Amino acid sequence: MTSLSGITPSGHVQLGNYLGAVARWARATTPDDLYFVSDLHAMTSAHNPAKLRALTRETLAILLAVGIDPDLVFVQSDLLAEHASMTWVLECVCTFGEARRMIQFKEKSQGQSGVRLSLLTYPVLMVADILLYGADKVPVGADQAQHVELARTLAKRFNTQYGEVFVVPELVLPPAAARIRDLADPTRKMAKSARNSAGVVFVLDPPDLIQRKIGRAVTDGLGRLAYDPDGQPGVANLLEILAACTGESPADLAEQVKDYASLKSAVAEAVIEELRDVRKRTVELIDDRTELDRIRAAGARRARERARPRLNGALRMAGLG
Ligand code: AMP
Ligand code: TRP
């Protein structure tokens, strides 16, 4: 069994990434799993090259700091040839209509001028990421479900048209924290690239800042403690964050807390505790250039060994080489 997932260095890693994805990856690894920094995905909208390079290193350090085995991590662009080649082959079995229907493309392109073509095609790059390594489980947050569905469709289509080479992957959603919301605007999901960071807790935020952001989280005027994501999204979000940190259910927690203020302090305390060591280890790793470079190079070698046979098989079946 192989689980595979990626995280895009389009900003600093935030609490939604941590609870919905990275921490989960670290808890459930098996020796064949792969977790990577998808830096190619960070170029689908205007980006700053120096910042991208720094965020890629920072994100890699966070994956390690959270406890993912160094043998299982890599940086996507270190295998540019493999990922780009596989993407091309898969673009040739994906229709324009399928790409255009992706919700993320619709959301991110709406009202924008100068939309990069890569924003349209990037789900196929994600499909290539998954299929290259024969992953059968893809643990991601709910926002990526449609892309994993596309991976299933394209894997089956290629296998039927050209011959069995791809494993058809399965989506694995987290039991809790599938969609952590922005603390300042609980109608939106918490995102690295949010324009206003008041409602986004970053994994490397210092404790006093975390305290402040959670203390100012938007709730509601009902003064009622219940787990009701539709009726009370702000409160439900806080309960979900607490649930993801403690392993309890949001509904049970709602019964244990007496008012909004004590909910907020419980959440702040749990999050600060959860992130304390991660922050410390990340800073140490970023400072140790040689070690981080060594882990990165070894990860790239291992990933290449894994990717090559399947890539070569797919190229041959498609009539190349
Ligand atoms: P991204 O920030 O798009 O690179 O996402 C990396 C991983 O974190 C993916 O598996 C996402 O589904 C997950 N993720 C991102 N934001 C959230 C959120 N607000 N709540 C839960 N999971 C999230
Ligand atoms: N596109 C994903 C995101 O933005 C990250 C990602 C890239 C990914 N490649 C992947 C996730 C492959 C799972 C599998 O969140």
Using CA atoms, how far apart are residues 115 and 74, in angstroms rounded to an integer?
29
pLDDT for 176 equals: 67
Please tell me the distance between residue 137's alpha carbon and the centre of ligand 2 in angstroms: 13
Pocket test for ligand 2, best of 87, 147, 149 (most atoms within 8 A of CB): 147
Atom number, ligand 2, closest to the C-alpha of residue 139: 13
Q: Whose alpha carbon is nearest atom 5 of ligand 1?
A: 7
User: Which regions in the chain score pLDDT beneath 50?
Assistant: none
What domains lie within the chain, and their CATH numbers?
A: 4-172+289-317 (3.40.50.620), 197-283 (1.10.240.10)
Q: Is the CB of 16 within 6 Å of ligand 1?
A: yes
pLDDT for 315 equals: 98
pLDDT for 321 equals: 80
CA distances from 279 to 26, 61, 175, 200, 212 (A): 15, 10, 25, 16, 18
Please tell me the distance between residue 215's alpha carbon and the centre of ligand 2 in angstroms: 31
Percent share of the chain, pLDDT over 70: 99
User: Which ligand number lies closest to the CA of residue 62?
Assistant: 1
pLDDT for 15 equals: 97
- pLDDT for 78-120, tens place per residue? 999 999 999 999 999 999 999 999 999 999 999 999 999 999 9
Q: What is the pTM of this model?
A: 0.94
pLDDT for 142 equals: 84
pLDDT for 27 equals: 87
Please tell me the distance between residue 139's alpha carbon and the centre of ligand 2 in angstroms: 10
Using CA atoms, how far apart are residues 154 and 145, in angstroms rounded to an integer?
14
pLDDT for 28 equals: 75
**Residue 315 CA, distance from chain mean position:** 29
